[in-house]
Chain A
Amino acid sequence: MFWKSTYNEFIKIAAKPRSYIGLAAITALVSVILFAMKVDGLTYISFITASFEQTLSFEGNVLNGNLMAFIILQTLIIQIPLLVALVTGDLVSGEADMGSLRMLATKPISRTQLLLSKFLAGNAYTLLILVWLGVMALGFGRLLFGDGDMMILKSDGLVILKSDDVMWRFLSGFAIAFLALVTIANLSVTLSCFTDNSIGPIVTTMAIIILFTIIGTLDVPVFDPVRPLLFTTHMAAWRSFFDDPVPIRDIVNSIVVLVVHNVILLSIALFKFNKKDILS
């Protein structure tokens, strides 16, 4: 029954027009960035390498697809959660709002299975969004700008990665970015269990992300103990794969924090959904 219900969720997501907003937005945003870089990319490169021009000279295809993908991911990783929450925040509350949740809940499927199927479908949609972002950023980026060694400007220096040393970093980076986005998807599904309003969980998810991001970036000592525990702090963990050497310890720590968040969110959602009086 769980897999049948999950299949139902896939059909519903595929049929909803809003599910395509995310894919369309990624296509548009990445296209705009790639176009801008194609037209004016060298100016951008000159700007970021200005402080090194006295000591280093850069040769070869500096403005390559690998760098493009990195720039795009860094730029869009803040916007992607909104696109994910737009669909996942609606999975329970949207059905409650529409009344179809009432019809689903009278079927011989346990509420736990029903909710887990929604979580799974939401996570699959998140994966689709991220894969599309990867195809657009890395695939089209490399198609338009070609391959090459990757040059990344960090706060403490410049990291140069050989072209044959990049792909595994992207794949690992996407994996941990997926975990971070799944946390946001699961947060919005959990919030969705608390209301019959379709928009509320989406807005609340974004509000939480903004609040946590502000807390995470504010350089105020009072937030120091809290900062490592916020999931938003670990949303940028994918970038760690582009450090040399890769800080495995920090990455493992981020994975643990994100997994714990997901377990807690899932537990809250299951408890609430199983106790929920369906009145809509």
Chain B
Amino acid sequence: MSERIIEVKHLSKQFGRFTAVEDVSFDVYRGDVFGFLGPNGAGKSTTIRAMLSLITPTSGEINLFGKSLQANRSHILAKIGCIVEKPDFYKYLSAEKNLEIFARISGSAVSKSKIHEMIEFVGLKGREKDKVGHFSHGMKQRLGIAQTILHDPDLIILDEPNTGLDPQGSIDIRNLILKLKNEQNKTILLSSHILSEIEIIANRMVIIAKGNSIVQGNVAELLNSQDLIVYFEVDQPEKASHIISEDLSADIIGDIEKNIIQLHIAHQDIPRINSLLTENGLNVYGIESKRKLEDYFLKLVGKDVLEKHV
């Protein structure tokens, strides 16, 4: 296994009587695009703040690049670029001046040409002299990304980078993240509640809810370990439903709509169910299987939590 970049061990944080994070543990390895998932209020931002020394953990241990954050704060932060919640710049300064301010204390020598290069990279060329107070949320988000990668960090932490972005903006950010991973082999921790984004981008993930880490691991392996949602399009859905309900290996989920029945079954059971239906004289017009992070997330976190917060 490659080098461990982030190691969070039994992290807890209390604000007075309120426990924001309790016993959260996870590891991120070099080159990972690591999805940090959880509904709003799950403790994602609190965990990220602790990893950036914005807050002091009540208990637990955080090691970054193999060193204790507490003992090596400045050395570690010099290797990190981050956006926590949203990028908040000085509204009365231009985009360029803002980047200069953050570059100056980034721990690396960042040239003016590098600043202009980054402004161009995030698609803000021509707006560098404009005051940030006149920027849209999407533009600030792009400037935030520029600020994050300005000093060429090894680890990039992005907390909800898609918040407030239009679909094109989200796609641009996604492509940017993939570019950073593929071309520069950056390690990226990406917190989000937009599950489809994580599913596309991340190779590993952790899911936390109510301050606790529930599961972590390889995204594909975790999803493969779960039953699939399979849609069968048949000519007699009621009869199909009756036949399947007698078969204990499949759960019928959802209502029958437009001759489609929705099943929760293991991958290897699809041919058997298909045979079962055809042997009983039903015509099967189509089979579609979906293995979605959203379903997996729902199963782990609970549908009520998701509906309430996401």
- 12 cross-chain CB contacts under 8 A: A7-B104, A12-B101, A15-B93, A99-B86, A99-B88, A102-B54, A103-B87, A105-B52, A108-B78, A109-B105, A277-B55, A279-B55
* B70-111 interface bits toward A, Cβ cutoff 8 Å, 1 = contact, 0 = none: 000111111010101111111111000100011011110000
Question: Which A residues are CB-close (under 8 A) to B82?
Answer: 106
A15 and B92 in contact, given A103-B102, A104-B105 (Cβ under 8 angstroms): yes
Number of A-B residue pairs having CB atoms within 8 Å of each other in the complex: 83
What's the minimum C-beta distance from B90 to chain A, rounded to whole angstroms?
Answer: 6
Q: Is B147 an interface residue (CB 8 A)?
A: yes
Q: Are A8 and B104 in contact (CB under 8 A)?
A: yes
Interface size of B in residues (CB-CB distance below 8 Å): 33
* A1-18 interface bits toward B, Cβ cutoff 8 Å, 1 = contact, 0 = none: 100110110011001110
User: Which one of B89, B93, B105 lies within 8 Å of A1 (CB-CB)?
Assistant: B105
- What residues make up the interface of A, taking CB atoms closer than 8 Å to B? 1, 4-5, 7-8, 11-12, 15-17, 98-100, 102-110, 275, 277-279
Q: Are B88 and A103 in contact (CB under 8 A)?
A: yes
Q: Is B49 an interface residue (CB 8 A)?
A: yes
Closest 5 pairs (CB-CB, A-B)? A99-B88, A108-B78, A108-B107, A108-B77, A277-B55
Question: Which A residues are CB-close (under 8 A) to B77?
Answer: 106-108
Q: Are B75 and A108 in contact (CB under 8 A)?
A: yes
Q: Are A12 and B105 in contact (CB under 8 A)?
A: no
Question: Which B residues are CB-close (under 8 A) to A5?
Answer: 104-105
Q: Are A278 and B88 in contact (CB under 8 A)?
A: no
Q: Are A4 and B105 in contact (CB under 8 A)?
A: yes
10 more A-B contacts (CB under 8 A) besides A8-B105, A277-B54? A16-B92, A99-B85, A100-B90, A104-B105, A105-B52, A105-B53, A106-B82, A107-B102, A277-B49, A277-B56
Question: Which A residues are CB-close (under 8 A) to B84?
Answer: 102-103, 106
Question: Which B residues are CB-close (under 8 A) to A15?
Answer: 90, 92-93, 97
Q: How far is it, in angstroms, between the C-alpha of A110 and the C-alpha of B15 when the chains are bound?
A: 23
Q: How far is it, in angstroms, between the C-alpha of A5 and the C-alpha of B106 when the chains are bound?
A: 10
Question: Which A residues are CB-close (under 8 A) to B78?
Answer: 108
Question: Which A residues are CB-close (under 8 A) to B107?
Answer: 1, 107-108
Q: How far is it, in angstroms, between the C-alpha of A108 and the C-alpha of B52 when the chains are bound?
A: 10
Question: Which residue of A is nearest B91, CB measured?
Answer: A98
Question: Which B residues are CB-close (under 8 A) to A98?
Answer: 88, 90-91
Q: Are A108 and B106 in contact (CB under 8 A)?
A: yes
Question: Which B residues are CB-close (under 8 A) to A106?
Answer: 52-54, 77, 80, 82, 84
Question: Which B residues are CB-close (under 8 A) to A16?
Answer: 92
A108 and B54 in contact, given A4-B105, A8-B105 (Cβ under 8 angstroms): no
Q: Are B55 and A108 in contact (CB under 8 A)?
A: no
Q: Are B97 and A107 in contact (CB under 8 A)?
A: no
A11 and B97 in contact, given A110-B74, A277-B54 (Cβ under 8 angstroms): yes
* B36-73 interface bits toward A, Cβ cutoff 8 Å, 1 = contact, 0 = none: 00000000000001001111100000000000000001
A105 and B90 in contact, given A1-B105, A11-B101 (Cβ under 8 angstroms): no
Q: Are A108 and B105 in contact (CB under 8 A)?
A: yes
Question: Which residue of A is nearest B89, CB measured?
Answer: A100
Q: Are B54 and A278 in contact (CB under 8 A)?
A: yes
Q: How far is it, in angstroms, between the C-alpha of A234 and the C-alpha of B80 when the chains are bound?
A: 47
Q: How far is it, in angstroms, between the C-alpha of A275 and the C-alpha of B54 when the chains are bound?
A: 10
What's the minimum C-beta distance from B20 to chain A, rounded to whole angstroms?
Answer: 10
What's the minimum C-beta distance from B70 to chain A, rounded to whole angstroms?
Answer: 12
Q: Are A278 and B55 in contact (CB under 8 A)?
A: yes
Q: How far is it, in angstroms, between the C-alpha of A78 and the C-alpha of B302 when the chains are bound?
A: 62
Q: How far is it, in angstroms, between the C-alpha of A98 and the C-alpha of B147 when the chains are bound?
A: 17
Question: Which B residues are CB-close (under 8 A) to A4?
Answer: 104-105
User: Which one of B49, B92, B147 lies within 8 Å of A17 (CB-CB)?
Assistant: B92
Q: Are A108 and B74 in contact (CB under 8 A)?
A: yes
Chain A CB within 10 A, most for which of B49, B86, B88, B92 = B88
